[in-house]
Structure 1
Amino acid sequence: MSLDWMTAAVCAGVDPELWFPNTGDSTPVRICQGCPVRQQCEDYAAALEGDCGLPYRHGVWGGLAATERAEASALAASGKAGRDAQILRLAEHGVGPKEIAALVGVTDRTVHRVKKTVSPAPVADDPVTAQRREAFARRTVATEGGHREWQGAEPVTIGATRYHARKLSWLVEHGVPPEGKLLRTCDRDRCVAAAHLQDSGRAAVGCGTRNGYIAHLSAHTPACPDCLQANADYVQENRAARAA
């Protein structure tokens, strides 16, 4: 990091002790207000101090006392955590790095770094979800073509709740109930694969479209297969247009 900016600082010809004032002395802060390199000074202090605690921060830099810099650092860390979580959530929904960068307002490089270095903590299934997964795995068989065929009678009872095969499949895959009737999109009679089911209620509000995909993200709900495909098609078309 270049320190050439320091030669233009107002404090260059002032007693350095002034920038380590007693509590309540606002003189250094007033001097900093008109300094032409105030922002560079503040950035330098942020890089120098990193995320260290208040006891390890000293003096006034960029017009900010140690307490103010500690608060700014904590706020930035909180915002960064939220930003990283948003990047990971978008990535989990199949959004490409360039599109994530545009949506979140960061660079492609930041998106790749977050995806590489930040791993979301594993979330254990609650008891009901675990029972649904176990029942679905026990009562279905995967077959070629991406189908999953139901075995035996339905509905099945888990706890005090009865589930028909399609609804159980939908809940296991999406974690939220369907908004309408579940329609099979393949020609296999016993197939209950979630990818081969369409929620008629969601279809009525735009599922299977790019806008439907964005609606899922806005509501923080898992995107349905149709919306995931619509988003993938949108991204592919955009890439082809940019390459042309």
Structure 2
Amino acid sequence: MSNYTGSVPDTARKTDWRTRAACQDVDPEIFFSALSEETAKAVCRSCPVVEQCLQFALDEDIQFGVYGGLNEDERRSLRRQAVRRQLTTEELTERSRYARQPKEPRTLAWLFEINTIAAFGDHLTWTGPNKAKFQGRTYTPKQVAFLVGRGRPATGILRSTCGTPECVRPEHIADTAERHSMTPEVDAA
């Protein structure tokens, strides 16, 4: 009697972390230019494998470009801290998260620009933190978009009007007052 079952062994390679990286569909040039460094970091902040990418850059001693949301100087500083202070993996991860946060924005429009990317169908997606800080105040992504687009704070609740809830294109967002003015009035007669 044979033990042959007819099944084929699974020979597929394990999924590499790079296949899940947010930068896969982004022009790689932005990660190697000082002019687009904040844009590259914004992509990294939205990446599900940002820690693996940073670890790869540290392990391979990569000297150029943005990897894991940090530029070469920031990675070098992190590496020195890890050695000097004998940081645990958790401490290193926490410090990298802190270093990865955007610097204090110059303007609200700049904050909006570095934390959004174009999405399918003329939409914009927010890639930054869930709460954005600017000049001592905290804003949601939709509040930032509304202020940039209208130049005034929203009245009431902000909602997307384009059918894509996560869209932050200023033209696709309306506050309560604007939504009420868009609704056709019904005659009482």
- Structure with greater proportional helix content: 1
Fold match by TM threshold 0.5? no
Which of structures 1 and 2 has the larger relative contact order (alpha carbons within 8 angstroms, sep 6+)?
Answer: 2
What TM-score do you get using the length of structure 1 for normalisation? 0.30
